[in-house]
Amino acid sequence: MRMHGCGPRGHRYGPMAAILMTGWARHWGSDWGTGFGGEGRGRSGPGRRGPGGRGRMFGSGELRLALLGLIAEAPRHGYELIKAIEELSGGNYAPSPGVVYPTLSLLTDEGVIEDQAGEGARKSFAATEAGRAELAHRKGEYDAIVARLKDIAEESERTSAPPLKRAMGNLFHAVKNRMAAGDFDRETVHGIAEVLDEAARKIERL
């Protein structure tokens, strides 16, 4: 039985290329993201719940306290608050406007923050005396929330290894492009394997 895989623009790889590409995709696909070209798992867009979208980022009332604490540090508008939380988490989590703005309305109704003239049409918020008093009383809780966000950033930095992802992506595309060029026979496969084996030996000696 002959095995073939389709490459770019309908190019059909030979059986050895198809086998290599299938094994590669199975081994690396789930760990390095689709085709190495995306942001990878562990990157979260607005409203997602932390690395890989797993679990809950904030418990009951924690987003409220996080926003109050950030506003107490410096007056901010809604978008700045979203970006501040995203930066604390190393870009791994950003709350959605759909939860941030209603929470800001709640804080305003409670009298712990108040509107403040901002730049242009954006409305900034500043902490009131009541808000600062609450934050002082709950400083330990707020500090724990900030520490958890920073832990997520540090863990992501340790595990995502951006330079390594980039290098692996380059390797993947180099092999794929070589397949698309044609003449991908058993000798070529062995030649690529020798290059990879030598790279593995060098990595082991680091």
Q: Which pLDDT score is estimated for 161?
A: 65
CA–CA dist 5, 120 (Å, integer): 56
CA-wise closest residue to 125 among 109, 108, 142: 108
pLDDT at 34 exceeding the cut of 60: no
- The answer to pTM > 0.75 is no
pLDDT at 132 exceeding the cut of 80: yes
Task: Output b/e per residue, 42-76; b: 16+ Cβ within 10 A.
Answer: bbbeebbebbeeeeebbeeebbbbbbbbbbbeebb
Are 70 and 84 in contact by the 8 Å Cβ rule? The answer is: yes
H/E run at residue 199 = helix 186-205
H/E run at residue 114 = strand 113-116
Domains (range + CATH), the chain: 5-38+162-205 (no CATH), 51-160 (1.10.10.10)
The better pLDDT of the pair 134, 123 is held by 134
pLDDT at 42 exceeding the cut of 50: no
pLDDT at 170 exceeding the cut of 70: yes
